[in-house]
Structure 1
Amino acid sequence: MSYYAVLELSTQASPEDIRRAYRRLVLSTHPDRTPDPAQHRRYLAINEAYETLSDPARRAAYDAALARLQQPDPAPEAAFESHPDPAMRRRGFRRRPLSKAEAAARVQASYPAQYARYMPWARRVNWALLLCALLLLLDSQWNTKYVDQEVRRVTEHVVRGKGGTLDSYVRIETPDLNFRLDQNMLREGEMIDVECSALFKQARIIWPAGNADPDRRIFIDTFYDLLFLPATMAVVAAIGCWPPPGNRRIVDTAAMAITLGVIHLYLLLRS
């Protein structure tokens, strides 16, 4: 509600009209005259309106702002379509203007064409990542042993950031393996036996060479403990490979499978 409406006046009211309306309304709504909370709120609004409209400078600024609010929104600028002829584009010629609805419809119509363009590439990606996920699942269940491995090098690594130490680990190198431990439990020259995955050589259990005591075994955490990750990548990639073909489904699943593949690559390189 505008200040003029609060004082029950038109925008053409004179200063004298404003003073008379204020005196009339403030007497009827003053808290000493009525205990009604609604009339008290109206009394405050009347005083606020009078403070603005009784001052010529403040009234002029208020009238200008009120006029701007009452003006209709300007018509949206029409989108122009580029002319198909390069020579005409250089000379500044454009086709008829497009409305916002037409421009949005053209963008929406371009999506199927874009999905169709990337679908063949996305399908190959899905097949490749499905194969990788199946290999990871196979590797998680297929273990092999390396016996009499000499610990040739023990290297401690500390990763620091602005907030302090982010990560610390120990890198163990033997003639056939290179793996990571969270703590330094081995010495250089020590002989150990290692059980690891057959394909990607992810060390899973180590123990002193020739010692069958299960209490001496050290179990190593690997990303194969998170078996749902390769299983999820296999499911996502399989959905992208599943007939009948759907361009959008194939491209979207390829994007998701690539993200999971990057995570798996990082975990493989980290271990």
Structure 2
Amino acid sequence: MQNYYRVLGVGLAATAQEIEKAYLRQRARLKRLAAADRAMKARLADVETGYDILGNARRRVAYDLLLAQEPPLPASDSRRADERMAGWAVWARRFNAAVLGCCLLLGLDWALPLRHYRQETVRSRFPVSVSASLSSPQLAYRVHTEHTTFRLPSAIGYRVREDQRIDVWQTPLLGVVSKVSAPDSPDGPAPFQPYGGTLYGTFFLLPLLLAAVAGTGVWPGHLAETYVNTAAVGGLLAILTLVVLLWF
């Protein structure tokens, strides 16, 4: 049977005023999180049920009689589970802080002025695979210049040739090539986007979402489960962000 005293965070001898204060405090904290976290929504439902029972004098007496008949749970087991979750939460917050730092680095890399390399000579250009599917193989071109390296989609690969002079714009911190201009190409000098630069273009919402999740995971005052859950989601989003940065 659910121990609603433990859910509300009060003792068995708590007064009606203490129970109400604990309920309002738990409800205010969980209501903010319930919209985005199913676990918090379930916890909020337990809090509401617990107050419906313990906040009513007659229901509380009947509940106390039923609770007294329950065999006591080993205190060591519940304490050990709480300690284990608290330990995970510490590492989860550290992980979220590291992910948030990486997001801030990406934001700074995007905000700073691009490094512009003018009249770079294309030293090499060779095809590489960018698809793991044998049924739908896709190719790109890895291009090397004096100062940069980037991959070009095969659909626009004709715009860059070996020994050609091109302009390249690169982010100052991570060296992500965000756009290229080939004045001698058949399509003219209009800049175009290679692979890699899409993280600051087409997929720009991905690092923003990652920063929001990581920021939630380092903000104080949350439950241990929230820190662990945000670390798990943040890890998946971080892997996806890295794939977009390196693969696309």
Task: Provide TM-score, normalisation by structure 2.
Answer: 0.59
Q: Identify the residue that residue 206 of structure 1 maps to in structure 2.
A: 180
* Change in CA separation of 1:178 and 1:123 when aligned onto 2, cut-off 3 Å: same
Query: Quick one: distance in 1 between partners of 2:218 and 2:132?
Result: 42
* Change in CA separation of 1:261 and 1:102 when aligned onto 2, cut-off 3 Å: farther
Instruction: Kindly indicate whether residue 199 of structure 2 is the aligned counterpart of residue 223 of structure 1.
Output: yes
Root mean square deviation of aligned Cα: 2.9
Kindly state the Cα deviation for residue 151 of structure 1 after the two structures are TM-superposed: 0.6
Structure 1: gaps of 5 or more residues: 1-100
Query: Quick one: distance in 1 between partners of 2:192 and 2:130?
Result: 23
Query: Quick one: distance in 2 between partners of 1:164 and 1:206?
Result: 30
Instruction: Kindly indicate whether residue 106 of structure 2 is the aligned counterpart of residue 136 of structure 1.
Output: yes
The within-5 A match list for 1:146-157 is: 146-157=117-128
Query: Quick one: distance in 1 between partners of 2:131 and 2:211?
Result: 35
Q: Identify the residue that residue 242 of structure 1 maps to in structure 2.
A: 219
Deviation per CA, 1:145-164: give whole Å up to 9, x if none.
Answer: 11221111101123566652
- Give the count of matched residue pairs: 168
Bigger radius of gyration: 1
Deviation per CA, 1:155-180: give whole Å up to 9, x if none.
Answer: 11235666523321111111211111
SS in 2 for 1:192: strand
Q: Identify the residue that residue 151 of structure 2 maps to in structure 1.
A: 180
SS in 1 for 2:117: strand
Write the letter of the residue equivalent to 2:165: M
Deviation per CA, 1:94-122: give whole Å up to 9, x if none.
Answer: xxxxxxx999x998776533321212211
Instruction: Kindly indicate whether residue 231 of structure 2 is the aligned counterpart of residue 254 of structure 1.
Output: yes
Kindly state the Cα deviation for residue 215 of structure 1 after the two structures are TM-superposed: 4.7
Query: Quick one: distance in 2 between partners of 1:151 and 1:194?
Result: 11
Q: Identify the residue that residue 233 of structure 1 maps to in structure 2.
A: 210
Larger strand fraction of residues? 1
Kindly state the Cα deviation for residue 257 of structure 1 after the two structures are TM-superposed: 1.1
C-alpha contact 1:126 1:237 (8 A) present in aligned 2: yes
Query: Quick one: distance in 2 between partners of 1:160 and 1:269?
Result: 13
Instruction: Kindly indicate whether residue 169 of structure 2 is the aligned counterpart of residue 195 of structure 1.
Output: yes
C-alpha contact 1:158 1:165 (8 A) present in aligned 2: no
Q: Identify the residue that residue 29 of structure 2 maps to in structure 1.
A: none
Structure 2: gaps of 5 or more residues: 1-70
Q: Identify the residue that residue 140 of structure 2 maps to in structure 1.
A: 169
